[in-house]
Amino acid sequence: MAQETKYTEDNIRSLDWKEHIRMRPGMYIGKLGDGSSPDDGIYILVKEVLDNSIDEFVMGGGKTIEVSVQGNKVIVRDYGRGIPLGKVVDVVSKMNTGGKYDSKAFKKSVGLNGVGTKAVNALSEFFRVESTRDGKSASAEFEKGTLMNQDLLDETSRRRGTKVTFIADESIFKNYKYRPEYIIKLLKNYVYLNPGLTIVFNGEKFYSENGLKDLLEDNNNVADMLYPIIHLRGEDIEVAITHSKTQYSEEYYSFVNGQNTSQGGTHLAAFREAVVKTVREYYGKNFDASDVRKSIIGAISIKVMEPVFESQTKTKLGSTEMGGELPTVRTYINDFVKNKLDNYLHRNSDVAEQLQKKILQAEKERKELSGIRKLARDRAKKASLHNKKLRDCRIHFADIKREGYLDTTLFITEGDSASGSITKSRNVNTQAVFSLKGKPLNSYGLSKKIVYENEEFNLLQAALNIEDGMEGLRYNNVVIATDADVDGMHIRLLLITFFLQFFPEIIKEGHLYILETPLFRVRNKKETFYCYSEEEKQTAIKKLRGNPEITRFKGLGEISPDEFVHFIGDDIRLDPVMLDKDMSIEQMLEFYMGKNTPDRQKFIISNLKVELDLLDEGA
């Protein structure tokens, strides 16, 4: 019989606010990460500080916010009302303390839980807050949440407002670095949703005059839009709608009180429903909802009194009420869209005609594909039961209330040895493996029909659960894990082509990555270094001195599961796949996968040279 563990008063422990945050950071900021993903913790820290400055702007305090990111140091300066000087320490170090509990001061705030800046403070190796108002200034400095210094100036010539400086703790966010692209996207969303606001990031100004219309234009190729963006504004609500000429699936951007609800929620569900209902009533036909929404690109922003989100990171709205005497979220959005969109279609008959043709074409294509889709679904179900292409995980992206849902990952790999190594070393709770059989088909220029007829594509689509849109996506991170050689790069390109051609939202929404694995192992009897570049290899050789053993990994299958666990665990290195904002998807596909051209040859030669040199060295 097992010995009974003692349970006494000594086992009971109370943690203070900062200890709890540092021990359980995932409860407050979602996943940690190293900055390679847009939902990594370091960006949540930036957002939590910015949210306070945005709330100041909304309440009429200051029209400019300055953001600086230099290395690991972040500075956010607003020109709002400033924190009341006697409460500067409390609002960043005492839980459940803040002005947002006073509904008169912050009517439609992003966050009402009084946690935001406290989490930033606790998770920073250095944190400084400075408030200026009424010609006086107060400041406080902390290390890992512990107050180190505070100061009060009776007189100052500085402009009023709040300035926060922090350096995220590298013992928690290991080997992290900020990617400007993710911060710029975050800042742009703020200006789209707040007309009149200017945000200056490292000297570059961001400003929007047309709100969600600007958002759709900046994130999509205008030439690919079927008709001009329908932009509708009302009290506490704004929507923008168009359809793509070439895109297959639906694409949405949704916001609540300025917060990007990347996983939607009650407001997005109501918006999708309202568009279908309005279109059906306008044309007097009971169109299939999927035909109305096929290729739609839409955005919605609403403001709600004291919103309820389904997670601390506020990515999905759970509220069903608008607040006050307003109707439910569903009714409010339905009434607005029905009235405004119907009026727009009546006033713009040319747009109504283009939309109707698009819907009828979608209906025709759906019926043509219906038989193939049924056979494909049956094949996918049988495959998931009888073969080993997909080794699934226990938690999925839709499990938003379960810890770890943001870490859910699907590794797409090629070859039994590579998939076997990853499968044996993975975290079975959050990491799944999909094994390819040979090189995927080049899908450039092919129709959606090929996705169902090609076994690899059909099973990959089923594994991701994205046939009917991104709402069903089962993994937050989709990672291409192929060898770092010419064949491996070709497979990467073919897979990226597949996603760009049929599911570009996977890339647009920051879900697609390339797994970086070490090229070299340098070791002696005491130490081992895994090196991702020639420079790292040379550094390791110098550290070990003597004549260390050097191994060149030519393929993922050569890396044992015992070693692989280091490369897909806490120290995983992911390289995000991002779209070139200066090229449309069609232009990119044409450049990389179209007819061979001198420009493409030059690009391939210059980009492969380093890899080929490394291969030669390891031969």
pLDDT in tens, 372-416: 888 887 877 776 655 668 999 999 998 988 888 999 999 999 888
The last residue of one of the domains, among 206, 224, 239, is 206
**Order of all β-strands in the sheet with 259-260:** 230-234, 237-243, 296-302, 251-256, 259-260
Q: Which helix (H) or strand (E) holds 207?
A: none
* Mean pLDDT on 277-303: 96
Encoded tokens for 420: 């076997």
The number of helix segments (H) and strand segments (E) in the chain equals 20, 22
pLDDT top residue among 147 and 323: 147
Number of domains in the chain: 3
Residues 6 or more apart from 236 whose CB is under 8 A from it? 108, 302, 303, 304, 322, 326
Distance CA 263, CA 387 (A): 31
pLDDT at residue 607 tops 70 = no
**Domain-located, residue 3:** no
CA-angle at 332, arms to 285 and 195, nearest 5° = 110
Dump the DSSP string for 434-461.
Answer: EEE-SSPP--TT--THHHHHSHHHHHHH
Long-range contacts of 199-204 (CB under 8 A, 24+ apart): 199/64, 199/65, 199/66, 199/67, 200/64, 200/65, 200/66, 200/67, 201/67, 201/68, 201/69, 202/67, 202/68, 202/69, 202/70
Please state, for a pLDDT cut of 90, what percent of the chain lies above it.
54
**Domain-located, residue 100:** yes
pLDDT at residue 74 tops 50 = yes
Specify the pLDDT at position 126. 97
**Domain-located, residue 542:** no
Residues 246 and 192 in one domain: no
Work out the mean pLDDT of the chain and round it to a whole number.
87
**Domain-located, residue 9:** no
Residues 174 and 253 in one domain: no
Confidence of residue 5 (pLDDT cuts 50, 70, 90): low
Distance CA 573, CA 566 (A): 10
Specify the pLDDT at position 387. 65
Specify the pLDDT at position 309. 84
Q: Please list, residue by residue across 121-146, b when 16 or more beta carbons sit within 10 angstroms of its beta carbon and e when fewer do.
A: bbbbbbbbbbbbbeebbbbbbbebbe
Least confidently predicted of 14-18, 176-180, 243-247, 387-391: 14-18
Residue 131, domain CATH: 3.30.565.10
Specify the pLDDT at position 154. 79
Specify the pLDDT at position 290. 94
pLDDT top residue among 12 and 329: 329
Residues 358 and 429 in one domain: no
Residues 201 and 240 in one domain: no
pLDDT at residue 112 tops 50 = no
pLDDT in tens, 455-481: 899 999 999 999 888 888 999 999 999
Specify the pLDDT at position 3. 57
Confidence of residue 222 (pLDDT cuts 50, 70, 90): confident
Specify the pLDDT at position 190. 95
Phi, psi of 127 (to 5 degrees): -145, 130
Residue at token pair 């129709």 = 447
172 CB neighbour count, 10 Å cutoff: 19
**Domain-located, residue 2:** no
Residues 195 and 221 in one domain: no
pLDDT at residue 96 tops 50 = yes
**Domain-located, residue 538:** no
Residues 43 and 121 in one domain: yes
pLDDT top residue among 426 and 96: 426
Distance CA 241, CA 222 (A): 13
Residues 151 and 233 in one domain: no
Specify the pLDDT at position 616. 45
Distance CA 261, CA 257 (A): 10
The last residue of one of the domains, among 206, 236, 269, is 206
Please state, for a pLDDT cut of 70, what percent of the chain lies above it.
88
pLDDT at residue 105 tops 80 = no
Residue 588, domain CATH: 3.40.50.670
Residue 231, domain CATH: 3.30.230.10
* Mean pLDDT on 15-22: 81
Confidence of residue 9 (pLDDT cuts 50, 70, 90): low
**Domain-located, residue 532:** no
SS3 track for 403-436: CCHHHCEEEEEECHHHHHHHHHHCCCCCEEEEEE
The last residue of one of the domains, among 145, 173, 206, is 206
Residues 197 and 257 in one domain: no
pLDDT at residue 14 tops 60 = no
Specify the pLDDT at position 609. 46
Q: Which helix (H) or strand (E) holds 287?
A: none
Give CA separation, 365 vs 65, 356, 372, 575, in Å. 48, 14, 11, 36
* Mean pLDDT on 39-61: 91
Whole-prediction pTM value? 0.87
Specify the pLDDT at position 158. 87
Specify the pLDDT at position 614. 42
The partner residues of 435 in beta bridges, in order of sequence, read 413
Confidence of residue 566 (pLDDT cuts 50, 70, 90): confident
Confidence of residue 312 (pLDDT cuts 50, 70, 90): low
Confidence of residue 617 (pLDDT cuts 50, 70, 90): very low
Distance CA 63, CA 183 (A): 19
Of 161, 89, 167, nearest to 123 (Cα)?
167
Residues 253 and 351 in one domain: yes
**Domain-located, residue 52:** yes
Distance CA 86, CA 76 (A): 21
Give CA separation, 90 vs 390, 467, 504, in Å. 50, 49, 45
Residues 218 and 202 in one domain: no
* Mean pLDDT on 26-40: 89
Q: Which helix (H) or strand (E) holds 281?
A: helix 266-283
Residues 486 and 569 in one domain: yes
Domain around 62:
17-206
Residues 420 and 314 in one domain: no
pLDDT in tens, 339-383: 999 999 999 999 999 999 999 999 999 998 888 888 887 877 776
CA-angle at 49, arms to 43 and 51, nearest 5° = 95
Q: Which helix (H) or strand (E) holds 588?
A: helix 585-593
* Mean pLDDT on 27-38: 89
